[in-house]
Structure 1
Amino acid sequence: MAIEKKTIRLLILEDSQNEAERLVSLFRNSGRATRVHRLVSSDDLTQALQQSWDLLIAAPGSEHLDPNEAITAIRRQAKDIPFIQLVDGNDSDAITEALALGAQDALPQGEDERLILVANRELANLDERRARRVAEVALREAEKRCQLLLESSVDAITYVHDGMHIYANRAYLDMFSYEDGDELEGMPMIDLIASCDQASFKDFLKNYQSAEGHAELACTGVKANGQTFAARMSFSPATYDAEPCIQVVIRAETGNAELEEKLREISSQDLVTGLYNRTHFLELMDAAAERAVNAGQTASLAYIRLDRYASLLAETGLAGIDLLLTDLANLLRAHFAGSAQLARFGDDVFSALLIGQSAEQSQHSLQELLKKVEGHLFDVNGRTLQTTLSIGVAGLNEKTPRAQDVVDRAHRCADELASGNALKLFNPADELAAAASRGSIVAMLQQALENNSFRLLFQPIISLRGDSHEHYEVLLRLLSPQGEEVPPEDFLNAAKDAGMAEKIDRWVILNSIKLLSEHRSKGHSTRLFVHLSSASLQDQTLLPWLSVALKAARLPSDALVFQLSETDAIAYLKQAKSLTQGLAELHCKVALSQFGCSLNPFNTLKHLNVDFVKVDGSFTQDLSSAEHQESLKTLLASLHAQAKLTIVPYVESASVLATLWQAGVNYIQGYYLQGPTQSMDYDFSAGDE
């Protein structure tokens, strides 16, 4: 059942060790795994800033390091570390001063709930900034690739700003018989249009500035040598060197303009209804999403499903249903009268993109549509049929860069109208409530327990020191009714909230014992690492139950290694101490995972009877930096001095192996070696050859 959450790297500027520990507990209790460092001097801050941190919380004052000095140091080094300043009382002047100096927020010391809310907000903002920086790098790479594609394109392409050329590719230069792009730079595009078409071109370009999306114009082009040719120009909005402009693609006319136009039209149409098809409609949605984000133009999507489609198809057959759909398409055209872009989105689904209307503004018109369809008599081969619609509506705004998200929301709203002939608007609060609700996941968990339908995966833990045992960590997976994996964090949190974690732990233990017995009977010397939840830590019946289970399976007790997380062990230290002592008496092995996140991790270790220590995954990140390597080596040396066997997870590349070997690590685990699989089939002898 192990789950690795993203560990928050936290700096605390607080002279009191007890208060610092209390702040760390706040984050733990709110479900945040944290790795913490308490700042004790200016030099300590300088050293700490060599590494990556997610948040700094500063007490109102410190004898060792002034909070203002800490903010200044962070700004001087251009580090993106959100800074939260705590102040004495509700001193508005102190709060204003902290904000003016560059703190992300300042709040009275002791307002714990508010502190967690502010910290979560700043961490979310930090994630957004990091994602934006990654996106900016990806954008630059994409722009480079686009530039290469432009240069090699067989289509003549130019970019125009205020009617002037700012870029032209080789095919464009060849089309107009120019040798070099410099000859065109700054030249008005109208100079390449025959005088007879210049007036219409100028009018088109003037009107296009306020037009939407793609447009075309047929005109006569003029080459540098004076020759003319018939051309068809396609215009679309674009950016070049981060400036808005117009992309123009020119194709010489082949004489089959009418045929080409017809083919273009057919490729975007649904052949039954004459409306746009799904592919073209999704392109329209992408363009609308771009306008919503870049220009603030609102729009809404109506996902219109025909009720009773299966029974109507059975009644009328394929030919009959096509007639009904055509009739319905005509009704939709008449109802929207050009105010919407309409498509047949699926067999029984139409879609309408309403530009300039929010979901709420479209509600009245869509209610009228429901009444029209309900009262309409469809004539299909002499038979009269009636049907209704289920309509889901979702809006596009500056927060919806992905058109597919809007489609999914409207689709879900339509699906929720079980009785049909109704309209449902997407409400963001509903989505949040659904995410918070564990009801459906709890039902899946209950079903998985009853039907033994959980899935166990095994990930090898490899010895770097010649241990002859084969080790695997057991990972639990839950499949939805559709056969998709439910994110472990979701179902494990749901299990904990519903009081099912103990039952699930025992299911994992029993099935691990069963599979391990079969595997060891084939001559393997295998141990399994099995995670115990905080609920099992507090379960006093676990030890006697486990003793019986191991005897029944005739397994040596040391074949199972029970793994506790450092966070759970600290929260329930007394129970963890008792449990690890009891497991030692049963001769079972114990591992402590996510180690090294607390202010004083070795204090926890003093109270526990532990054989293996798995360091937190954050230690494996950025091992290319000397500071991170030294930090990990120091931690491992202290553990080895206490005769603990160490495990380093998240080994994703060969480059870190040499560092880990030199640091004396006992075991490693990660996708570089092998990801989790359904069978215990790793070749442990491969590394010895």
Structure 2
Amino acid sequence: MRNKALLNLLVIDEDQLYAERLVSLLSSYYEDVNLGFLDDEEELLKILRQQWDVLVFGRAYDLSFTDVVGIVQEQSLDLPMIGLMSDDLAVTGRNDDGLPAVIDGNMVKALLAEKETEVVMAICLQHASLCSRRYLKTLRYILSEAEQRANILIKNSKSAVAYLDQGIHIFANDPYLELFGFEDFNDIIGVPVIDLIAGGDNIKGFKRFLSQFDKGSRAQVEFKFESRRTDGTTFEAKLQLAAATLEGEPVTQIIIQQNNNNSAEIAKRLSVAERQDSLTGLNNRRGFEEYFETLYQLVLENKTNAGLFYIQLDNIGKISTSLGLQGVDATIKQVGYALDEKISGGFVSRFSDTAFTVLVENLTTSALKELAERIRVSISEMYIDVDKRTTNTTASIGIVKIESNSAEPTVLLERAIDAVNDIRIKTQNQGDACHFYNPSEHATNDDNALAESLINAIAHNHFELFFQPMYDINTDRSDFFEVYLRLPLSDTENTVLSPDGFMSVAKTHKLREKIDRWVLINACKQLNEVRKTHPQARILVQLTSASLIDKKLPNVASQLINAVGGAAGALTLQFNEQDVANHLTVAKAQFAALSRVGCQVGIHHFGKAAKAIEIADFVQPNLIRLARNYVEGINNADNLETVKSLILRAKALNIDVLMPYIEEAATMSVSWSVGARYLQGYYLEEPSRTMHIAPEK
């Protein structure tokens, strides 16, 4: 049965082809497999910042399986690990019966690498175990949070609430104590609940009622009876039972209402109370989170834009030392009042002991920065009276803009907090500054930020295209250009990412189709301009597997070809050999459909698959672009013969061959003789932002 979930698989091994083989096998069980591949410690420490589901270890350049286990444990990660060994080494990781020495929900050590069926089964089972642990952790957290909220509600409730263990009181809130005339909480501990029920018939009926509830029956959870106070007086009441937990242990919750209770009004007051901070009167964290979620949905629907301020008071420790808790409370109160007054159009809340959050709408980036600066200055200029003394404070303010392509609220809040932490680092914990979180500055180490940068690049044309010509031996021209995509980031290092650096994130966020479409449209726009003076100019565009299986692609290609003059062959689309191998039947149909609309097709990284020629014969491309390893070893006589044989077989199928990666004169001289039609590389010409065509001699 196919698992709809995504598997994030991290493989540490020297053999990338083995890792890709595992991905191919696992595709039968998962909708998608995100592969991480590395073979040294430095890369491991960096890549472990991401979330992985299963780690498979084979052989690495400078790591052993013990090293990896130690690193994962030091990082306190719940990451199942599978150790692979070859026959000659397996004895050290297997018992006398030839079975792995360790098999549990966190580790299998050691499987034989060539036993791929066992490896795939181990990966699936380890992932299933991990998913169960994560789900259990979530449930425990939800239960803990629910219990905490319930206890807060009960303690602040005007309703009479108590907890029972086998019919004995173990907890009661103040209204419950007052209702029955108990002066102190300790007075009711250990008192049977039936002692509070008047009349023998009531007691018998309640015992039956409680017994049925304890057996799991929920058909009846209310019981009307005459209740008795400690002074002997009685009153008519209604009792409700519910299953609950107290400190993680199962108990029975009991709520008693007098007949004249106004439960709706009480519920309304409780709802307000649990969202309000008692010290400042502002909304508390729960109120903030609920409002933030509502505002976030409006932003996603493009009904508004918003900004978030995380305001951390700086010197509370010094105030506490000099003025004690009274000074801290006075400072927080007066800052809270000032924020509420100054930001009349925003939503102000006390997020934690010494931090406030503010949500504002319809402000530009510059307006957000200006407002944050005014808030900072206002706080720093405040004089705070504490008894007969005066103190002051400053604030560090993290600013985050909330737009329709922004990450989810929890991530945005983390970014605002990170912005404050950046202030701490830069000011050596002095604070008193504002910092705007720009996602593009963090794209290299934050997948959500990188996804936002990609969305922004698509929407505002922030991608860059480069063009590298290919020399056509048949025509003695260089007017056929391969298109390269780059993503510049607005960070301090002026980082530029190639698709290898962002396509895995684009895949996770389902952006590959949009990126492919952007490349196609913008490359054809530039081609159209060039063809006005050089009508034979052509382009070769690399697309992802998302476009390979897109049934709309032929129609898009047809429209673009018509837009650049309608010449057959003006546009060639190329796909990765592994993607073609993974979707052979689909690729054959797609290649045929593209051919019918005058669009040529190619395969890049050709020759890596074991049956590369057979694949090409099946899907019938117009062009193949050889993998780098063929070119790098071409000066070796055996490798040269291999390349010549491969090209000869391709030409027999009427497929043109492109020799890329020609970086030096020696490679160039050999490349002339192998029979390829196209030559390309830095030795001939580097990629540039324009399609430069040298004038004919």
Please state which band the TM-score falls in when normalised by the shorter chain.
0.3 to 0.5
- Larger relative contact order (Cα-Cα within 8 Å, sequence gap ≥ 6): 1
Larger radius of gyration: 2
TM-score (structure 1 length as normaliser): 0.42
